[in-house]
Structures are given as C-alpha cells and as structure tokens.
Amino acid sequence: MTRVGFLGLGIMGKAMAENLIKAGFDVTVWNRNAEKTTELVVLGAKQGTSPKSVAAHCDITFAMVSDPAAALAICQGPEGVAAGIGEGRGYIDMSTVDDSTSQMIADAITNAGGRFLEAPVSGTKKPAEDGTLIILAAGDKTLYDEALPAFDVMGKMSPFLGEVGQGASMKLVVNMMMGGMLSIFSEGMSLGQKAGLDGEKILEVIAAGAIANPMFKGKGAMLLAEDYTVSFPLKHMQKDMRLAVALGDKLNLSLPTAATANEAFKQAKKAGFSDEDIAAVYKTVQ
Ligand code: NAP
C-alpha cells in the first residue's frame, strides 16, 4: 500500500485528502493550523508533525496550499518537505503557482534526491468533493505513473503535460480566462438589470446561446441570490490573475483584457471581499 502524505487542508485539500482516505489509501495529513486535521484523523488519517516528517514517512506527499509564498514555505527550511524527502520519494504540489515558483520547488526537491511533479487542478470545491477535478500534471513521469491511482480518486482527467512549468502555465491560462469571463459577466448582469431587464431572464437568454457555460449558470444563480458562500476564495483568483499577467510580462505578451480583469479583482479585495467567493466581484460593479 502506497503511503501518501497530504499538506494543506483548506477548502480543496481537505476534500481531496478525504477522498484518498475513503478510497483506502494510508494517508498522513498536516496543516499549519493543526485544528483542521481533526476531522480527517477521525476518518482514519495519521497526523503528521511537520512537512518534513510527512515527506520522510510517505512514498508520495501531496500539497495544496494558497499561493507561491505558502508553497515555498512548506518546501524550504529545516522543517520543509525538501529536508525530509530523501532518495527517490515523491513530492506533488497541487497548489496554483507560477512556473518560476514551481521550478524553484522542483530544484529543492531534486537536489535533495526526491522526485517532483506539479499538478495544479481545474475545478472548485464541489469537483474536489466529488473527485472530478482536472489535474494538470508536469514534471517527473515516473512519479506521475505512480500517482495515477491517487489522481484517479481525486480527478476525472489527469493529462501529463511535459516539463515542470507546463502544468502551472496551463492552470494560469485557464484561470486567466475564467477571471476575465467572470468580470465581463458581472458587468453584463449589472448593466442589464440597471437597464430594467430581469436577472433570471438574462441568465435564460445566455444559457440558450453560444456563450452558455457552467460557470455563468452557477455564479449567475449565486449573484442573483446575493449568496457569496465561498467555494473559490476571491483572493486566490486575484493571485491567479496577477500571476497570469506577470507571465505575460515575462513573455513580452500584451494582455489588456486580463490586466483590466485583474484590476477588478484587486478592487474587490480592497472592498473587503477577499474571503468571499469569486462571484463577489459582481458587488464591486453594481
Ligand atoms: P484555502 O481554503 O484558502 O486554503 C489554503 C491552505 O493553505 C490552508 O491549508 C492554509 O493553512 C495553507 N497555507 C496558507 N499559507 C500557508 C503558509 N505560509 N504555510 C503553510 N500553509 C499555508 O484555499 P483553497 O481554496 O483550498 O486553495 C488552495 C490552492 O488551490 C490555491 O493555490 C488555489 O488557488 C487553488 N485552487 C483553488 C480552487 C477553489 O475553488 N477553491 C480551485 C482550483 C485551485 P491554514 O489553514 O493554516 O491557514
């Protein structure tokens, strides 16, 4: 039985780790705020004391933390993953970060003798609970092959995309488009209702045409109900927009629409909606 570790039990990590436990994996969990491990320990997980100890104990350690700073924090330092990984063991970071951060983590792990795969995910809280995420893997192919049974539990699709950086970039492309779409959708919903149209009718018309998509349907219902219960925290979407715009800078590619949408999410953060769902960007347009 493969021993797997899971670091970071936020909205996504908790659901993903829970599915691994329920599927019968031998799971050791760790979270910075240790209280969040309690429920999973009740379900049968072992409790790790640090990222280092989890990585040293497990064949494959997964991580799902907020942003580049968090991903580096759990990898580096005396209690970090790299300090415990040892020869041949695997580390799979599923957090959404940029390609440069991912490469820094890959270097720290491989220099310590371990194997590294980046595997950010597309899909939010519900797909994480249902085990239907899209897992965007890149890096060590042998580790990818060994992780497939776990990926099959957490996701519905897990393409191997090549070298470290390719999974991170794929994820940023997807979320940059999602953020841009949500921003213009919020403007359209606001404009329509200010012009006297019924919100439900706007959603019906959109759903019947060429711009129909599950996100407009799901977030549309949320914003009409003024229900911003968090599934994907707005602060993380702004981080993704920021990283996508920065990737554009690095590659000398002009991204005016993404840059503008990034500003909309920054404004929403400033208005105090960081920990609400991404749908709360609508409130700043209204
Ligand atoms: P979340 O609920 O905010 O959880 C964040 C996790 O990161 C928590 O476990 C937190 O620990 C940990 N963390 C933050 N800073 C840390 C640090 N310096 N050291 C150690 N741990 C730290 O976020 P989430 O929604 O699960 O998202 C996790 C990642 O998945 C993010 O990269 C996000 O962009 C990506 N993602 C999210 C969604 C979504 O819909 N939610 C979808 C796809 C991808 P504490 O509990 O101690 O604060």
pLDDT in tens, 206-242: 999 999 999 999 999 999 999 999 999 999 999 999 9
Strand 3-7's sheet: what is its strand order? 46-47, 26-30, 3-7, 60-63, 90-93, 115-118, 138-139
Average pLDDT over residues 76-100: 97
Handedness of CA 162, 165, 169, 175 (dihedral sign): positive
Average pLDDT over residues 14-25: 98
What's the pTM?
Answer: 0.97
- In the predicted structure, residue 1 carries a pLDDT above the cut 90: no
Residue nearest to atom 36 of ligand 1 (CA): 96
pLDDT at residue 2, as a whole number: 85
Q: How much of the chain exceeds pLDDT 70, in percent?
A: 100
Pure H helices in 138-251: 141-154, 166-194, 199-208, 214-224, 234-250
CB 199 within 8 A of CB 193: yes
- Respond yes or no: is residue 141 known to be catalytic: no
Containing 139, the helix (H) or strand (E) segment is strand 138-139
Segment 128-164, tens digit of pLDDT? 999 999 999 999 999 999 999 999 999 999 999 999 9
Segment 20-74, tens digit of pLDDT? 999 999 999 999 999 999 999 999 999 999 999 999 999 999 999 999 999 999 9
pLDDT at residue 4, as a whole number: 98
**CA 65 to ligand 1 center in whole angstroms:** 4
Say if ligand 1 is within 6 A of residue 125 CB.
yes
Average pLDDT over residues 183-201: 98
At 82, list the tokens: 């790299």
Q: What DSSP character marks residue 253?
A: -
Identify which of 12, 49, 175 to mutate to test ligand 1's pocket (most ligand atoms within 8 A of the CB). 12
pLDDT at residue 286, as a whole number: 86
Q: How much of the chain exceeds pLDDT 90, in percent?
A: 99
pLDDT at residue 140, as a whole number: 98
Catalytic residue among 171, 219, 235, 239: 171
Say if ligand 1 is within 6 A of residue 223 CB.
no
